[in-house]
Structure 1
Amino acid sequence: MRRSHGEVAPAVWRALETYRRAIPPEALGWYGSPDGDTLPLDDKGWEHIRQKILDRPSANACNVDLEEGASEAGGYNFEYRGRRLDAPLFAHDEDATSGVAFSFPTEYLLEHGPAHLRALALELARELPFSFGYASLAFVSPRGFWYAARHELIAPLSRYLGLDLYRLDETSRVIGTHARGAYWLTFLGQPLLGQLGGIEALRDKLSFPEVSHQPMEAERLLLTLGEWPDVIDTQKAPLVPHYRALAHLLEPFLYEERTGWFSLDKGNLRRWMRRLCQ
């Protein structure tokens, strides 16, 4: 979201409440305190989070991390990086954004089915003034804690091209109004959707039976690439054409990472970000 924290804070809070209603009670059990500790997310903790998001609209930054477990990876997690884009730290960075991520364990998808998760993602997205967003199968580790195991993740990433690996804190600071790639659910807002030619142009260019096009208010679009998310196992089947077609359309609008969070070689990250364009 190429918007400052104060502009998006109410929408982020509403989306968080929607997420909280959709997941099991107490699924989010911990939050990061201002002093760096991880504390139980009780009623007092929720009030602290509410105040942090809503009561400081002029804050230079608002970072919120809510996790299922105090030390485990995966599961249910909420991450928000709100930034005041005119603050000295970001004022000269044209690509800084406010970003938010909601994660679910694979069991949630299997129990409720893809239609339910798609409807929930759409409900969350309606609240948010996004330029780009997505839902994907992914390696999920709160706050990028997977970084210590990044070398072990390279092999499965090279085989399963439909798996995502993200680090919200750094990506949200550099993505601007660009795209991140082609995903099972790909949300396109402005100005990106206009740069791609608009809704009707994408209907013509992505006229695959597996792809559904759902217009959203405020000139936005949700693309769904198949009934279920596809792990894209390159050892079992060739790259699915509708994913590749969307990846090629988005390639001119992909952002460039400015940090070496994937490895010291940024070329590795650039190739991985464009893995569906090959």
Structure 2
Amino acid sequence: MRIVFYLPHDHRTLAPVLRRTLDTYLAFISAGGGALTSGEDPDISEAAFPLTPEFWEEARRHIEKSRFEHLDEMEQDSFWFRTLTKRGFDTWVHLIGGESDPTGYEFSFRSRLPWREPSGEYSVLSVKVPMQFLEDQGPEKAFELAQALAEPLPFSTGHAGLSLSFTRGRSRLLPLLKDHLVRHPGWDVPRASTWGMEEGIDGIHWMTFLGAPLLDTLGGPNAIRARLQHPETTVQELTGCRAVIRLGPAPLAGDTKLGETLPAYRELARFLEPWLMPSAPFVPFEGYTPEEMRHWWRRFLEPPPAAISDPRDG
């Protein structure tokens, strides 16, 4: 399961709360025996490294303190201006629960480039827990984790739900998963880039977090409740004029061949359609035609395929 927040702020604005989010995540996963053991950071090492006490301190320092002022104030032929604009982000800290045998635990923060006039990019905070966490701790604990992470973050939008995780070979594996993605629409494929999202919503998920100004545009929590009629859908207000929409007690993958078409997800997709951010024009999946990409992105907006009946049932 993946929990992600899109943050329309530079690192210097987010730095005061990032240590808190990391400590919150560590507290939740350690209670169930999970841990982060390896790290990746292009400014620390070119390869994954074990999280020794020294590297933990370095990783925390990277999270807690922004190093760069506005790029507009740098010389354009300087080393850091060329480095930052080439890689497309300010700071990236990526902590995982195993290098050669990933455990499914992951904490990742990537901050956008600090221009004086902000671009359409977002800073992104993303965490993952394995399916074993859901099985052992239960979906309510996963919901509590998402809420606890959301509490200090000035997010624009965010979401949580079942998500594919590619440690390597994404471009090679995605074409092999076409039939599975169609059959199980509740699984998400993480977005490769936030460029051009503006105020868009990144798909339909078990949980959808809404902040300003989008929540006001949608009419606020009460207006959303009035529009969403599925009995398992809840809309909960959060502090700071924010809200979270939850589609049932647990995330669902669905199975269109068995008629499990996820009606609550479809209802939310119809409500949010004007704000849904299309994936195909920006990050097409390798090996997918434009029509296949369109069909996948609109999987909750178009009529579901008919369930396949089992002759043994007759």
Would you call these one fold, judging by a TM-score over 0.5? yes
Which deviates more from structure 2 when the two are superposed, residues 226-235 or residues 170-179? 170-179
Aligned to 1:46: 56
The 1-side partners of 2:291 and 2:109 are apart by 28
Amino acid corresponding to residue 28 of structure 1 in structure 2: L
Structure 1 residue 175: Cα displacement? 2.4
5+ residue gaps, structure 2? 1-6, 70-83, 85-89, 303-314
Whether contact under 8 Å (2:34, 2:105) holds in the other structure is: no
Shift of 1:44: 0.9
How far did residue 19 of structure 1 move?
0.3
Alignment length (residue pairs): 271
Residues 66 and 233 from structure 1, CA distance in 2 versus in 1: closer, same or farther, beyond 3 angstroms? Answer: same
Q: Equivalent residue for 1:119? A: 144
| Aligned pair partner of 2:251 in 190, 208, 229 | 229
Counterpart in the other structure of 1:86:
115
The code of the aligned residue for 2:188 comes to D
| 1:204 counterpart residue number | 226
**Residues 195-274 of structure 1: pairs in structure 2 closer than 5 A:** 195-257=217-279, 258-263=281-286, 265-274=289-298
CA–CA distance in 1 between the matches of 2:105 and 2:35? 6
Equivalent of residue 58 in structure 1, options 61, 68, 81? 68
Q: Which secondary structure state, in structure 1, belongs to the residue aligned with residue 111 of structure 2?
A: strand
1:9 Cα deviation after fit: 2.1
Partner amino acid, structure 2, of 1:49: A
Q: CA deviation at 1:58?
A: 3.1
Distance in 2 (CA, whole Å) between partners of 1:261 and 1:31 is 28
Q: Check if 1:32 corresponds to 2:32.
A: no
Q: Which shifted more, 50-59 or 62-71?
A: 50-59
Contact kept, 8 Å, 2:35 with 2:105, in 1: the verdict is yes
Distance in 1 (CA, whole Å) between partners of 2:107 and 2:290 is 27
Closer, same or farther in 2 for the Cα pair 1:9/1:175, shift >3 Å?
A: farther
Give yes or no for the alignment of 1:11 onto 2:17. yes
Q: Which letter maps to 1:27? A: A
Match of 1:67 in 2: 96
CA–CA distance in structure 2, aligned partners of residues 5 and 208 of structure 1? 39
Q: Does structure 2 retain, via aligned residues, the 8 Å contact 1:160–1:231?
A: yes
2:179 maps to which of 139, 155, 164: 155
Alignment partners' CA distance in 2, 1:45 and 1:254: 39
Cα offsets for 1:179-204 (capped at 9, x unmatched)? 01221111111122122222111010
- Separation (CA, whole Å) in 1 of partners of 2:163 and 2:41: 26
Residue 74 of structure 1 deviates from its aligned partner by 5.8
| 1:31-64 superposed Cα distances (whole Å, 9 cap, x missing partner) | 1143421100121111111111222253660111
* 1:105 aligns to 2:130 (yes or no): yes
Residue segments in structure 1 that go unaligned for 5+ positions in a row: none
Query: Bigger CA drift: 66-75 or 196-205?
Result: 66-75
Q: Distance in 2 between matches of 1:86 and 1:256?
A: 26
Task: Name the amino acid aligned to 1:263.
Answer: E
Q: In 2, Cα distance between the equivalents of 1:238 and 1:107?
A: 23
Task: Report the Cα offset of residue 261 of structure 1.
Answer: 4.7
* CA RMSD, Structure 1 to Structure 2 (Å): 2.1
Range with greater deviation from structure 2 (263-272 or 230-239): 263-272
Check conservation: 2:278, 2:297, Cα contact below 8 A: no
Deviations 1:104-150 (A, max 9, x none): 010100111111110111001112111111111111125x7523311
Return 253-262 or 99-108, whichever deviates more. Answer: 253-262
Q: How do 1:137-152 residues align onto structure 2 when only pairs under 5 Å count?
A: 137-142=162-167, 145-152=169-176
Provide the rounded CA distance (Å) in 1 between the counterparts of 2:178 and 2:219. 35
Kept in 2, the 8 Å contact 1:210–1:225? The answer is yes
**Residues of 1 paired with 2:49 and 2:284: CA distance?**
27
CA distance in 1, matches of 2:152, 2:64: 15
Q: In structure 2, what is the Cα distance between the partners aligned to 1:5 and 1:137?
A: 28
